[in-house]
Amino acid sequence: MVREAFDRKLASIREDVLKMGSYAKDCVLLSMQSLKEQNLELVEKICKIEEESDLLNFNVEERCLKLAALQQPVARDMRFIATMINISGNFERICDLAVKITEITRKTIGRPLLKPLIDIPRMAETVGEMLDIDLEAIAQQRSVAAEELAKRDDFIDSLYQQVYNELLTFMMKDPRSIDDATDLLFVAIYLERIGDIVAKTGARVIYMVEGKRVWIK
């Protein structure tokens, strides 16, 4: 088959981007677990995964740019390479945001959280589901179901609003809770942002496969 070597390089990039996707999912779910359990070991594990994600992102980008320069890809190949650069950056950003959650875990070690975590872990689980949708589509080289992503992203947004309202109530009732409430609010913000990133990733997958530009809201 023609261009076998080129196709192998594209497949290898896809595998590494899938690896980054699984790093992103691990980081999000472990960051939630580390916060609930106040587990510093998990925090260290997340930071290590984030470092690997950084290196892999750089490597993926470098390989994509090299292929663009040397192979002059067009059509599907060009869309694939452009998308892989974009998605790889997205997954690396998700790991960064998960590390920010671990900074809050470190801050809260040794003292109880302001309130039991209920909605915030649900946000993280939903992010995990969205990542699964994206990763499956990338692995199978097919488009994503945009409505499935949009539904879940909307759900995350609504949970964020609930968390925000609840924490605001805490802060208004007792100003001494502002510091702790703000910490949890930041966790919710990071998860809401991660949800947006994963939705945008899905939109890029649609572009890669179908050549169509969509917005997933």
Find the binding residues for other proteins in span 196-215 (CB under 8 A). Answer: 211
**Least distance between other proteins and beta carbon 13 (Å):** 16
Cα four-point dihedral sign 13, 18, 21, 27? negative
In whole angstroms, what is the distance from residue 180 CA to residue 132 CA?
32
Residue 84 or residue 191: which is nearer to other proteins going by CB? 84
Collapsed DSSP state (helix, strand, coil) of residue 116: coil
State both tokens at 117.
Answer: 């975590």
Under rule CB under 8 A, residue 3 binds other proteins = yes
In whole angstroms, what is the distance from residue 18 CA to residue 14 CA?
6
Residue 70 or residue 118: which is nearer to other proteins going by CB? 70
Residue 41 or residue 75: which is nearer to other proteins going by CB? 75
**Least distance between other proteins and beta carbon 82 (Å):** 10
- Angle, CA 188 vertex, CA 185 and CA 189 arms, to 5°: 85
Under rule CB under 8 A, residue 2 binds other proteins = yes
Q: Torsion over CA of 27, 31, 32 and 37, rounded to 10 degrees?
A: 140
In whole angstroms, what is the distance from residue 135 CA to residue 216 CA?
16
Residues that contact other proteins, how many (by CB under 8 A): 13
Among 45, 79, 100, 122, binds other proteins (CB under 8 A): 79
Find the binding residues for other proteins in span 18-77 (CB under 8 A). Answer: 72-77
Residue 72 or residue 140: which is nearer to other proteins going by CB? 72
Q: Which residue has the tokens 């472990």?
A: 30
Find the binding residues for other proteins in span 129-168 (CB under 8 A). Answer: none
- Binding residues for other proteins (CB under 8 A): 1-3, 6, 72-79, 211
